[in-house]
Structure 1
């Protein structure tokens, strides 16, 4: 792998058996992310975005092609931390104990896991809520807790699958600004699935646009906007030009997706 790449998806294809046949979901998908980059993946619903993340996380095996995370000789070490669409916080555990789950699964003692997670509570805007239950948190706070649980595992690559999709518009905007701030502070490598084009542009260094299923990469758009990005940037001509380009590509692919009479399940 090139030293400029920490994630390299090369000609990734994936088929699933269905009713005695096979359905191709991914068709030679290729893209990459460098250390500390923020890359978003967008495309029509059901095109296979989550399948790519499942392969990156080691939950699915490619039919063909390769996925490399970290150094090529990293072996079986898991180098990604995956945050799914729902926060999946356990209602019977405190917020602190929810954030330590990933570490505990890896064999870290509860005492050490709590200490590691507690250090991040201030940066994630959760100070004072260590002993609260998830039901006592707002939607945005629950997402920050879920992201803290992901980040504290110390993996070099974060996979965020629609992290703010369930939030109202105002809270979502606040979370986007917050995520940009903590990403710039810690400089994780982030891959994010989103259906929100403005969210992708606002947060990303690069946006990968997938076609309708079976997914191919239709376009990769660099977002050469200065950082840090203020919210009023979304009204700038430069932002609008990128949004227009992405909308044009997505519009044609969404029409193709709607003409597909197969299941709309997002693989």
Structure 2
């Protein structure tokens, strides 16, 4: 009798495991990764290829972290901003007076890491040809020159429309702000300490190839990109869909090159004026 009971229990456990394995819980997701590419074409605000402005110079920063504030799928080139499928909208606050991105709640990721995981059953079925992604924060290294010698500095760059910053970490130094900062605010950490600056209003490049059919607000950082192959969501997916948001950093760090030597010169408490840290294009791709 004891052996019979043991056999029945064993069969019950085996059948239970088999049933579970044959009907696994399946919740496929849209997985969004953010990449940066120094070789990707360099675009201007109108979404066409451009060189560095005459009298300026640029370099490809070495990225550590990046964050986005907003993500939207657009079915066509005629879809206005906000009328597509909004997948993500980060937290905002009025702690600094005007409405602003709440940096303390921003999700910071290294290039190549997963930024979002969204259940596919929560996304409207359809075919999407375009993506709108609003970038908000970048942390990267750049090379600067002091007395003709090269050094590396770490920059925190806030490119969102307006950001409430309690504090932020550069590399090893923490900077306390407790106020709003407009698009183009930045901090630089070097061996000599920390300096902060603000690029001119409207100077941050935000490529939008759809500027004629679907404009974006002035001062936003909503970069627009077209899928190489349209994204199809049927609602019947059984596996994850992974998309890569490839951002061009082709000479995305740009300054006024006062002495025309192509180097970012810093000295005597002065630095050649930084004018632009905007990303230089977006190519979204569905990964195999």
Q: Aligning the two structures, in what range does the TM-score lie when normalised by the shorter sequence?
A: under 0.3
TM-score by length of structure 1 reads 0.20
Higher relative helix content: 1
Higher relative strand content: 2
TM-score by length of structure 2 reads 0.19
Greater gyration radius: 2
